[in-house]
Amino acid sequence: MSEPLFTLLGSPVTVLELLAFGLALWMVACNLRVNPLAWPLAMGSSALYGWLFLHSRLYGEASLQLLFIVVAGWGWWQWLRGRGSDGQALRVHRLSTRARMLALGATAAAWPLVALLLQHATDSDVPWLDALPTVGSVTGQLLLGRKLIENWATWLAVNLVSIGLFAIKGLWLTVLLYALFATLSVVGWRAWRRLEQAGAAHG
């Protein structure tokens, strides 16, 4: 799984990275359609990426994949059984202005804490750059689990930072994946806004 399959831009691409790439794209396609299949796909992709990132000394990203697996189980349950504040089945909606600021503030506060942990507890050579998408991804995953539109804006920011991070590490297939993710974040944002408007029109 970790043996090179081919070379891309001078860096080896493994079967592990290729499989993780495929599952992650399938997952995002399901997220766009609000299909619960996205969550088991997220678990599989996270397990594979956790292994890949561990080998690349991206410990924040590797640890994040374990959290993703746990949160994916929660998100799967939310999409199948979750309820909104009105007691009805969970549907696509948005944060209040106050909740949006709280989410942004919590993410900003967690970033230096995770960066310092990586800096002092691991041999990471990019602790601050690793920590930023790590904490942003936790925020994005929680927002996604509750079908909040703001998850797409969060993922767009995370994906753009991650492109630089993975380029530094020479994970070029993953760079391509996150460039696609950034584009799909915009597509998802627009699609979920339409779903919210349709729900409001019928609600």
pTM for this entry? 0.83
Q: Is 199 helix (H, G, I), strand (E, B) or coil?
A: helix
Please say if the pLDDT value at position 10 is more than 90.
no
pLDDT tens across 58-71, in order? 777 788 788 889 99
pLDDT tens across 16-25, in order? 888 888 898 8
CA distances from 4 to 13, 38, 71 (A): 5, 28, 31
Structure token pair of residue 66: 């374990």
Q: How many residues does the chain have?
A: 203
